[in-house]
Amino acid sequence: MRKVLLALGLILAGCVNVSDVGSRSYVAVDSPISRCMNMGSALEAVYEGQWGYTVRRSDLVRLKRAGFDTIRLPVRWSAHSAHEAPYTIDPAMLARVDEIVGWANEIGLNIIVNVHHFSGLNSDPDRNEPRLEGLWDQLSHHYVGAPDNLIFETINEPHRKMTVARTDAINARLLERIRQDHPDRWVILGTADWGQLNALIKSNPVAAERVMLTYHDYIPFDFTHQGAHWTDRKETGLRWGSRSDRATMKRRLDAAQAVQSESGMPVFVGEFGVFQKVPVRQRARWTKALRKGIEARGMSWCYWDFAGELKAYDVEAEAWIPQLKSALLD
C-alpha cells in the first residue's frame, strides 16, 4: 500500500511516466463505455460452468434493460489453445465466444473480449509472450469485419515477471498487430501488477487513437476480499466508510483522472467489487461511492461481477440483489 500511495503522490505532483506520451498527434475520443458488467466465473474457468455460472442470452437482455451498455467477457484462451506454434485455438471455444459476441450485437451491448488467467505468461514470459501474440494473431484475423461494438483487451492483470516495462512492450506489439486488421477498433491495454493503479501510473503506454487504459480497484483489499477463500484474508467484520476511507478513495480517483487528462486516453476501471460474504449494506456503500466517484471524473467502469462470488445478480433467485443494483445504477 505504501508503494501505491507514493505513486499517487507522484502523479498529483505531475511527475509520472504516463505523462511522457508527449505531444499528441491524434484527437482524443470519448470512451464508448459507460456502465459495464463483468461476466465472470464463466469462460474464465477452465470450462464454462465449472465455477457455477454459464452466460445466458437472457442475462444480456436483463443487463441492457437495466441500463448497462457494455459487458466484459473474461476468457481463459490458454486452456483452449495449443502450447506450440501456431497456438491454434479450439474451434469450439471460438464458436462459443462468437455466440456471445453475436448476442451482444443483437441486443445492443458493447462486448469486451480479453485474455484472462494466462498464468504461464506471468511465470515464464520468455516462453509465453509468443503464445500470447499467437492468440491475438488468430483473434484479430477471426474478427475482421466484426461490428464496432466488439472491443479487444490485450491481457488481464499481468504480474510477477510481467513487469510494467515488459507489459508496456507487449502491449505495443499487440496493438501494432491488431491495427493491421482493425485500424479503428477500440483496444484496451492491460496493466501490470495485477492491474493496479500504481502500475498504470508508472506505465508509458503507446499514445494512440481509440485506445483505453485500464486499472482494477479493490482497495482496501482487506475489506473487499475479507473471507474470500482464494486469498489469505480470513478476518471478517471489517467495515468501510470512515472519513479516512473516503479520503483515500478520493485521492486514488483523482490520480486516475490525472492519468486520463495527461495521456489523452480514456481510463476504464475494468474491475471493482466486494466479496459476497461481506454484509450487503457494506458492499453497496463501497460500490456506490466508487462508482459515483468514477463517473464524476469522466471515467468509465465495469463491475465485478454479474453472478459470481462478488455478484450483483442472484441466478438461483433470478433476481437482482437490490442494494447492489441501486449502488450501480441509481
Q: How high is the pLDDT of residue 3?
A: 36
- Rounded to an integer, what is the distance from CA 303 to the centroid of its chain? 9
Residue 27, in any domain of the structure: no
Residue 312, in any domain of the structure: yes
CA distance 81 to 93: 9
Residue 18, in any domain of the structure: no
Q: Is the pLDDT of residue 26 over 60?
A: no
Residue 64, in any domain of the structure: yes
| 224-233 pLDDT tens trace | 999 888 887 6
Give residues with Cβ within 8 angstroms of 170, minimum separation 6.
125, 129, 132, 133, 154, 155, 158, 162
Residue 58, in any domain of the structure: yes
Residue 5, in any domain of the structure: no
Residue 55: give its domain's CATH number. 3.20.20.80
Residue 11, in any domain of the structure: no
Residue 161, in any domain of the structure: yes
State mean pLDDT over 273-287. Answer: 97
- Start-to-end CA span in the chain (Å): 31
State mean pLDDT over 80-98. Answer: 98
Q: How high is the pLDDT of residue 29?
A: 58
| 138-156 pLDDT tens trace | 999 999 999 999 999 999 9
CA distance 76 to 297: 32
Q: Is the pLDDT of residue 2 over 50?
A: no
Give the burial string for 192-225 (b: 16+ CB within 10 Å, else e). Answer: bbbbbbbbbbbbbbbbbbbbbbbbbbbbeeebbb
CA distance 250 to 290: 9
Tally of structural domains, the chain = 1
Q: How high is the pLDDT of residue 8?
A: 47
Find the domain containing 209 and state its range.
32-329
State mean pLDDT over 60-88. Answer: 99
Q: Is the pLDDT of residue 6 over 90?
A: no
